[in-house]
Structure 1
Amino acid sequence: MSEEVFERHRPHLRAVAYRMLGSLTEADDAVQETWLRYQRTDTSDVENLGAWLTTVAGRVCLNLLRSRTTRGEVPLDDSEPEVRLPDPIVSPLSGPDPEQEALLADSVGLAMQVVLDTLSPAERLAFVLHDLFAVPFDDIAPLVERSPAATRQLASRGRRRVQDAAPTPDADLAGQRAAVDAFYAAARDGDFDALVTVLDPEVVLRADGGAHPTRPTVLLRGARTVAGQATLARRLAQHVRPALVNGTAGAVAVIGGRVFAVMAFTVVDRRITTIDIFNDPDRLGGIDAGAFAI
């Protein structure tokens, strides 16, 4: 019976863990650890089991984030040339499946996940649990060993970072798609001026090739710089198929029956402000290329 009860909460807990960690594998590990702690604990006196499980998952994720820092893994910083993007959630244009929908609840796209990686573990926990999952500061405070007032300040700092670095994308998915389609049409034609037009002047392009030397990690800034890079990728543009990436307009490149790359876009005021490219084969192998058949 306890397993059935826990399974009802699993999708929510996985969504919490994904926001906290940016890794689908680590999110699953965190949910499994939450299950083990649930098994070992007498929860008969717990009035709100969902809230209790959420705070347990938050504590597990906080420990994982702190262990990253201990191992020398630093948050992504705009001044740091090394780029490690969060795992994307990729779905066909027909929409995400039920499991993906649970992960994407209240999501504003991949750009937020990227910015969350710049927060300290305590800031990330306070912001994610309170702002995204409505956990009271009184419940978060013991996790970060701060007072509720200090925890509120942590969340406020995290909120400012997110608002400054990850502006809310256009809500109109069709408008997003029009901007992305215009980008690829210009890339296929090698039309530099058209590319600059569809890009925000301060656009940022990040490419995460993992540890593979043939798929370099790249960080570029500015419309003209990004446009120049895009015109060099004309051949890749021929293999692009439309997709949803973290619920917003994106694309996948399918070559030889396999997903070669995933591209996520943030579109604000009909211009592309960020382009995040995943071309790490170690993290693309689980994506079904057949779901994106033309």
Structure 2
Amino acid sequence: MPMGGQRKLQPQLQGQKEGMGSESSAILAQCLRPGVRKPINVEHRRCEHRRQERHKGVPRSFRQAMHGPNAGTNRNRWGKHMLMMGKKFYVYVDGESHYIRNEGKAKKLDGFTTLGKVQRVGNSQGQDVKVRDDCHFFWDSEYLNNLHPDRKVYFTAFTGNDNVLHDAHVYLRSLHFEPYIIKEDKGLRDRRRSKANDAGVIEKPKGADIALAVRMIEDAVLDNYQIVGLFTSDADYLPVIKAVRRMGKYVVVYGFKENLGNPELEYVPDEFVDLGSYWKRTCYKIIA
């Protein structure tokens, strides 16, 4: 079309521009740049614009930034970047799944052992790995090294008296976790552990999964975070992940790729970080 035809086309699009929001106006302005022979697909531009806004301030690859060759440098950069961009980062931990999966890796590393005997290679005892068996707590500071989430919530279960339960709450809080601990009967817990050991079936304490799901969605609706890290290998959380992503949140799942119940857990979130790689790289050793 000659340039004269282009000039005739512009007033028509200019009329569409009136009454539109700043987002649509910006997109149409791009479509009307000189030299364009035909209108660009405005809807495509609008979707692309929204996608860019959603991921504004988020690294191209969270996995590469957090766990790549320059992980230490990138973690520092990413942590500062989130603060500069005003992005709130929340972390939720499915404690039962996370603990039992790590326990399984420890058994493969050194037979039947407890996670309390695990420490990072090259570090003094207890410096980086924190373990508390009675409430199924396992945490490696390397997971989020140099990152400072606005909130971390650990969902798990406990069997014991109220005084020890209080101590468990205080312990998790001392490590900057918001504790969500369900008290359950010892017989129920023993049966769950037996199933996990004999059949490899991870059965959760009643109420733990739904509590995590409700909290994660509630915080998303209230716009309490823009980026969320979910520590789980349980595919039952897929509907929650999809719902949160539809709200425009950036979701990173930390789980174990080996024996993953549903492969969708690898690609439905924006990123999937394989925690099994920590054990493959022999980052841990068993102490006497």
**How would you bin the TM-score normalised by the shorter chain?**
under 0.3
Larger Rg: 2
TM, length-normalised to structure 1 = 0.20
TM, length-normalised to structure 2 = 0.20
